[in-house]
């Protein structure tokens, strides 16, 4: 048994989910499932990006705070 660490890309919380998210999330998920099926110990680490330019721009467009945008789309 091996220890496997997989780092997933962070989706931005500034809009609805779309097909493009699959390109970032699916490969890591498939790899994690493969290694778990082999009996390896898998650590799949991810998160989300609730700060930064995309959030700030969306918040300004909607007249809201970045925190409100993060809560609405997360």
Residue 54 CA to residue 11 CA, distance in Å, equals 11
H or E element that contains 7? strand 3-7
Alpha helices (H) in the chain, listed in sequence order: 20-38, 53-62, 66-73
If 0-12 CB within 10 Å is exposed, 13-18 middle and 19+ buried, where does residue 4 land?
middle
Q: What pTM value is reported for the model?
A: 0.61
12 pLDDT band, cuts 50/70/90, is: low
Share of the chain above pLDDT 70, in %: 89
* Domain boundaries defined on the chain: 3-73
Instruction: Select from 64, 9, 49 the least CA-distant residue to 31.
Output: 9
**CATH topology (fold) of 3-73:** Rossmann fold (3.40.50)
Q: What is the pLDDT of residues 21-41, one digit of tens each?
A: 788 788 999 999 999 999 999
pLDDT at 58 over 70: yes
Residue 2: what pLDDT? 96
């Amino acid at each position: 048994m091996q220890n496997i660490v997989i780092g997933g890309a962070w989706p931005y919380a500034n809009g609805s989910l779309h097909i493009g998210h699959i390109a970032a999330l699916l490969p890591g998920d498939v790899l994690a499932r493969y290694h778990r099926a082999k009996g390896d110990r898998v650590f799949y680490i991810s998160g989300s990006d609730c700060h930064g330019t995309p959030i700030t721009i969306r918040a300004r467009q909607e007249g809201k705070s970045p925190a409100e945008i993060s809560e609405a789309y997360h």
